[in-house]
């Protein structure tokens, strides 16, 4: 058998589960994610672990596995579905592989703000999508985390209006919504793996990238880019996900502890995330980066046709209309 990081990680998990079963009468729950320990998602996960342990009086023990220890995000979610790991971190863009309408939630300039986003994901729209995902895959979305707004970092060009993107080579994730968003703005979207972004900016392979202020600071974009333009083009969501099979294996009391803790930590994370985002902006500014406010209205106007096309392709035209109506 070919030895990979994923297989080693899963073997370690299996060994840990076996040992924990021998040594103590408690349920060990592994929650894996692909993000660093500085991330919003990791903070929420560790808080959830603390709550679960406390409220179950140690009967449930959550072990958080960050930084892709058991594989990438897709592998983690597949592991949750297959039962090789109890919980993972997912997001709408990934769930769209199973339920295409989920992809609508990641469209650019879809929301007027976090309050609008919360109405969508916590209301009938979010509930309907979550139910369809469970019906098709057995995956259960436990909460909704705000993964943050994404902005644009540029080496030497300030972004003020859509036309400023024309011809700009910008690093984007390997995701159709990102590629098509910046193509619609007449930029040249260039998918590059995350570890190579700094060098790509430094050597001129690209002259811009997009991401959250946290990512910008951790990846030291202030060393290779002069401007941070608050384009706020996408508000990303995230969620902890488990399987119906695993939930049903728990007692009713422990199942309630898991469900309540997941929702509680998500509510706290969303309440505090604005403060932490402001702190990242302060760090970037202190490091010498120029930060610019950007009027979203002209960008939204340019990208509305893109929203319409994505919704039509996903069979979610009515969902898009309902999302827009909630902005009123």
- Averaged over 112-133, what is the pLDDT? 97
Question: Does one domain contain both 37 and 84?
Answer: yes
Average pLDDT, the chain: 92
Query: Residue 8 — pLDDT band, cuts 50, 70, 90?
Result: very low
Residue 258 structure tokens: 């898991």
Residue 93 structure tokens: 């863009």
Bridge partner list, 163: none
Q: For position 186, which CATH number holds? A: 3.40.190.170
What's the confidence (pLDDT) of residue 175?
Answer: 86
Question: Does one domain contain both 112 and 243?
Answer: yes
Question: Does one domain contain both 264 and 129?
Answer: yes
Question: Does one domain contain both 60 and 125?
Answer: yes
Q: Which domain holds residue 302?
A: 149-234+283-326
Question: Does one domain contain both 296 and 193?
Answer: yes
| C-alpha to C-alpha distance for 28 and 255, rounded to whole angstroms | 13
- Averaged over 119-128, what is the pLDDT? 97
| C-alpha to C-alpha distance for 266 and 260, rounded to whole angstroms | 10
What's the confidence (pLDDT) of residue 174?
Answer: 83
What's the confidence (pLDDT) of residue 42?
Answer: 94
- Averaged over 228-253, what is the pLDDT? 97
Between 259 and 12, the more confident residue is 259
Residue 292: pLDDT above 50?
Answer: yes
| C-alpha to C-alpha distance for 149 and 269, rounded to whole angstroms | 14
Residue 98: pLDDT above 90?
Answer: yes
What's the confidence (pLDDT) of residue 235?
Answer: 96
Residue 291 φ then ψ, to 5°: -110, 130
198-240, pLDDT tens digit by residue?
999 999 999 999 999 999 999 999 999 999 999 999 999 999 9
- Domain total in the chain: 2
Share of the chain above pLDDT 70, in %: 93
288, 94 contact by CB (below 8 A): no
Question: Does one domain contain both 250 and 104?
Answer: yes
Query: Residue 5 — pLDDT band, cuts 50, 70, 90?
Result: low
- Averaged over 252-279, what is the pLDDT? 96
Residue 21 CB: number of other CB atoms within 10 A? 12
Question: Does one domain contain both 33 and 109?
Answer: yes
132-177, pLDDT tens digit by residue?
999 999 999 999 999 899 999 999 999 999 999 999 999 998 889 9
Question: Does one domain contain both 77 and 186?
Answer: no
Question: Does one domain contain both 292 and 182?
Answer: yes
Question: Does one domain contain both 156 and 261?
Answer: no
- Averaged over 109-119, what is the pLDDT? 96
Query: Residue 7 — pLDDT band, cuts 50, 70, 90?
Result: low
Q: How far is CA 139 from CA 13, 82, 87, 273, 284, in A?
A: 20, 10, 10, 26, 38
Question: Does one domain contain both 58 and 161?
Answer: no
| C-alpha to C-alpha distance for 140 and 249, rounded to whole angstroms | 14
- List all residues 6 or more positions away from 274 whose beta carbon is below 8 Å from its beta carbon: 114
- Averaged over 179-185, what is the pLDDT? 96
Question: Does one domain contain both 17 and 80?
Answer: yes
- Averaged over 92-103, what is the pLDDT? 94
Residue 150 structure tokens: 């994404």
């Amino acid at each position: 058998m070919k030895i990979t990081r994923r297989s080693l990680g899963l073997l370690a998990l299996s060994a840990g589960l076996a040992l924990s079963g021998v040594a103590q009468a408690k349920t060990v729950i592994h929650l894996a994610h692909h993000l660093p320990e500085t991330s919003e998602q990791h903070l929420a996960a560790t808080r959830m672990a603390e709550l679960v342990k406390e409220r179950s009086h140690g009967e449930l023990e959550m072990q958080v596995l960050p930084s892709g220890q058991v594989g990438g995000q897709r592998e983690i979610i597949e592991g949750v579905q297959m039962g090789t790991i109890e919980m993972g971190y997912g997001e709408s863009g990934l769930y769209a592989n199973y339920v295409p309408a989920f992809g609508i939630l990641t469209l650019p300039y879809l929301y007027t703000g976090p309050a609008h986003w919360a109405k969508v994901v916590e209301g009938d729209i979010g509930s309907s999508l979550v139910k369809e995902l469970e019906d098709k895959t057995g995956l259960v979305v436990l909460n909704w985390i705000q993964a943050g707004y994404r902005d644009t970092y540029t080496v030497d060009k300030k972004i003020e209006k859509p036309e400023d993107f024309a011809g700009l080579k910008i690093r984007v994730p390997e995701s159709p919504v990102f590629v098509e968003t910046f193509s619609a703005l007449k930029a040249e979207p260039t998918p590059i793996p995350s570890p190579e972004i700094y060098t790509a900016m430094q050597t001129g392979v690209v002259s811009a990238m997009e991401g959250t202020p946290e990512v910008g600071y951790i990846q030291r974009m202030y060393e290779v880019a002069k401007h941070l333009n608050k384009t706020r083009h996408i508000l990303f969501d995230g969620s902890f996900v488990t399987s119906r099979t695993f939930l049903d294996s728990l007692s009713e009391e422990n199942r309630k502890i898991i469900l309540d803790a997941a929702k509680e930590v998500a509510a706290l994370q969303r309440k505090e995330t604005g403060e932490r985002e402001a702190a990242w902006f302060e760090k970037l500014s202190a490091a010498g980066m120029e930060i610019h406010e950007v009027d979203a209205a002209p960008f939204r106007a340019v990208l509305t046709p893109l929203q319409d096309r994505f919704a039509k392709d996903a069979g979610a035209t009515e969902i898009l209309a309902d999302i827009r109506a909630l902005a009123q």
